[in-house]
C-alpha cells in the first residue's frame, strides 16, 4: 500500500535517551518495506532544536513522524509534546508517544496535549519489535501523512 510520500524516504525523529530502546527501534525499522530515515535525539531540548532547526540542527530535515518518549532528560516529553502541538509550524506533524508508562494519567495527558497516539513500550524484546512494526505498518503504509511544508 503506497502512501503519497513513496518517492522519498519517510523521515522519522526518535526522541529517546535509552540506548537499548534506540537500538531496538532502529533494528525494527530496518525491516520496514517502506524506506525510512531515522534521526535520533536524546533529550527534550535537542528534540525542539531539531524541529526548529536551531543550533547544530540548522540543516535538520522536517520529520514526517515523531516517536516521543515521555521520560527524557533536560526537558520532559510531556513539555516537548505540548510545545510541538502549540507551534503553528510543527503541530501537524504526527506524534506517537512511545513510553514505558501505562499510567492512565499519562495516557490521558498525552491525548489532551494532542498526541496522535500513545503506545506503551513492551519490556520483552520480541514484543518491542512487533510494536514498532505495527506502528510503522499503520503510519507508513496506511496513513496519509501531512504534506511537507
Partner 1 sequence: MISRSNVRRKRILVVEDNPGDVALMREAIVEGEFHYHLSIAKNGDNAISYLRNLADDTCSSLPDLILLDLNLPGKNGHEVLQEIKEDSRMKLIPVVILSSSDNERDVSRSYELNANSHVRKPGNLMEFANVLKVIETFWLKTAELP
Could you list the residues that contact partner 1 (CB under 8 A)? Answer: 1, 4, 91-92, 94, 102, 104, 107-108, 111-112, 114, 116-120, 131, 134-135, 137-139, 141-147
What does R_g of the chain's alpha carbons equal in angstroms? 14
Q: Which is nearer to partner 1, 46 or 135 (CB)?
A: 135
User: Minimum CB separation from partner 1 for residue 83, in Å?
Assistant: 16
Q: Which is nearer to partner 1, 40 or 119 (CB)?
A: 119
Rounded Cα–Cα distance for residues 26 and 37 (Å): 10
Q: Which helix (H) or strand (E) holds 103?
A: none
Rounded Cα–Cα distance for residues 55 and 86 (Å): 21
Q: Which is nearer to partner 1, 27 or 127 (CB)?
A: 127
Cell numbers describing residue 100: 514505558
User: Minimum CB separation from partner 1 for residue 82, in Å?
Assistant: 14
User: Minimum CB separation from partner 1 for residue 105, in Å?
Assistant: 11
Q: Which is nearer to partner 1, 41 or 145 (CB)?
A: 145
User: Minimum CB separation from partner 1 for residue 53, in Å?
Assistant: 20
Rounded Cα–Cα distance for residues 41 and 145 (Å): 22
Cell numbers describing residue 47: 528534540
Question: Distance from CA of residue 122 to its chain's centroid?
Answer: 16
Rounded Cα–Cα distance for residues 149 and 51 (Å): 13
**Closest among 32, 24, 18 to 124, alpha carbons compared:** 24
Q: Which is nearer to partner 1, 43 or 131 (CB)?
A: 131
User: Minimum CB separation from partner 1 for residue 117, in Å?
Assistant: 5
Amino acid at each position: 500500500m503506497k502512501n503519497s510520500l513513496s518517492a522519498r524516504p519517510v523521515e522519522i525523529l526518535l526522541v529517546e535517551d535509552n540506548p537499548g530502546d534506540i537500538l531496538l527501534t532502529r533494528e525494527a525499522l530496518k525491516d520496514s518495506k517502506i524506506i525510512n530515515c531515522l534521526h535520533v535525539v536524546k533529550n527534550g531540548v535537542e528534540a525542539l532544536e531539531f524541529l526548529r532547526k536551531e543550533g547544530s540542527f540548522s540543516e535538520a530535515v522536517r520529520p514526517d513522524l515523531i516517536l516521543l518518549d515521555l521520560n527524557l532528560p533536560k526537558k520532559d516529553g510531556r513539555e516537548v509534546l505540548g510545545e510541538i502541538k502549540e507551534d503553528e509550524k510543527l503541530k501537524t506533524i504526527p506524534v506517537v508517544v512511545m513510553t514505558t508508562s501505562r499510567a492512565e494519567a499519562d495516557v490521558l495527558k498525552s491525548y489532551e496535549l494532542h498526541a496522535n497516539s500513545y503506545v506503551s513500550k513492551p519490556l520483552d524484546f520480541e514484543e518491542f519489535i512487533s510494536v514498532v512494526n505495527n506502528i510503522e505498518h499503520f503510519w507508513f503504509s496506511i496513513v496519509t501523512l501531512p504534506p511537507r511544508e
